[in-house]
Structure formats: C-alpha cells, structure tokens
Amino acid sequence: MRIPFLLCFFALSASGQTLELGFHGGASRLNNSSLGFLPGARPIPRYSLTNGWRFGFRTTLNTWRYFGQEIGYGYNRTQLREETSATQNGMAIHQGSYNLLAYATREGSKIRPFAAGGGHFNSYTPPGTSVTSGGANTKFGFNYGGGVKVKVSPIFAIRLDMRYYRNGKPFDFLEGRSGLIGQLELSMGFSLVI
C-alpha cells in the first residue's frame, strides 16, 4: 500500500506539478431564485430559495506554470420559502464542479491571483428528502470567477474565492419558472500544498 503511494508522490514531485487539497467555507447568495408555483393549488403558493451558507472541498492539480485544474464539492444550506405564508423549511444544495484555473503569477509564487471557469451540477434536495434517497433534482450549468491564493508556509496556503454559478431552476413540476437561477459564492479556505 505504501509503495504505490510513494511512487505516485515522487512522480508528482518530479514532474514539477503541485497538488492542493483544501477546505473552504462562506456565504451563498442566490438571485432570480423564484421557483414558481404549484399547479391547481388555491390559494396559489409561490416558492423561492433564500440566501444561505456553504462549505466544501477543492482539489487542485497545477499542471502547468500558469494553469491548473480543479475539482470540488460544495454543500450549500438554504431555505425553501413559501411566499404567501412566509414559511421556510431548510434544504440543501449539493454541488460538484470542474474548473480550469489561469494564474497571474507563475507556479511557486507566494501570491497567486487566478481566474476560474468551468462546469458544475447542483443537486437540490427539498425538505424531508435526501440526495441518497433519490429526492434530489439535479441541474447542470456553468460557473466563473476568481480569487487569490497566498502561501503562508511551504505547505500551507489560504485562499479567497468569488464564484458565480448559473443553471436551470429546479423542481420541474412547478409552473411559472423562467430564466436561470444564479448563485454567488464568497468563501475563504485553507489548503495543504504538496
């Protein structure tokens, strides 16, 4: 078990690539978050999503001097709000993403501003369900943004991110949906740099 791990580690080190394993947390701000209404119900209940918080993990492989590739997972907590009665129930948005990163400074620099862009999916799990029970409604979209990574030691870095996600609105059984839902991520994280 140790030999394959060591071989992979030395191969990665020999190629000049760096691997970053990170955790982040922050705010999730939604726009155009009106989801629509239930058909045939009286009075007509309209539903929307509220702003919330998030945490997640990102793994970045810096494959070239000024470029990298990143995969990530984010757990977003929001509220499903029924507009007429103003009742709210907590729900989750599970998010997976793949992004290309373009850095303003070369590999090994202490401060690395970057731009990011790629694709993602959001799995919306309404109150009373879970993603494992098959209750999630998944939508695919695109995202873009940027941030900065600052090395605070040879193996640790902090990062600030701002990302904007766009995808179709969830819960296809609702009527009156239009446009794409937008999500702004503002987060701070810590990374182990290998």
Supply the pLDDT for residue 13. 44
User: Is there a domain that residue 120 lies in?
Assistant: yes
Residue 34 pLDDT exceeds 70: yes
Supply the pLDDT for residue 12. 44
Number of domains in the chain: 1
**What's the CATH code of the domain at 155?**
2.40.160.20
Task: With CA atoms as reference, report the closest residue to 185 among 58, 57, 28, 30.
Answer: 28
Place of tokens 């303003």: 104
Supply the pLDDT for residue 1. 54
User: Is there a domain that residue 55 lies in?
Assistant: yes
Three-state secondary-structure class, residue 128? coil
Which residues constitute the domain of residue 80? 15-193
User: Is there a domain that residue 159 lies in?
Assistant: yes
User: Is there a domain that residue 4 lies in?
Assistant: no
- Please give the model's pTM, rounded to 2 decimal places: 0.87
Mean pLDDT of the chain: 91
Average pLDDT in the 88-112 region? 97
Task: Give the model's confidence band at 9: pLDDT under 50 very low, under 70 low, under 90 confident, else very high.
Answer: very low
User: Is there a domain that residue 141 lies in?
Assistant: yes
Instruction: Count the Cβ atoms, other than its own, within 10 Å of residue 41.
Output: 9
Using CA atoms, how far apart are residues 55 and 52, in angstroms rounded to an integer? Answer: 11
Spatial contact of 127 and 119, defined as CB atoms under 8 Å apart: no
User: Is there a domain that residue 180 lies in?
Assistant: yes
Residue 15 pLDDT exceeds 60: no
User: Is there a domain that residue 76 lies in?
Assistant: yes
Task: Give the model's confidence band at 112: pLDDT under 50 very low, under 70 low, under 90 confident, else very high.
Answer: very high
User: Is there a domain that residue 47 lies in?
Assistant: yes
| Top-confidence residue, 1 or 35 | 35
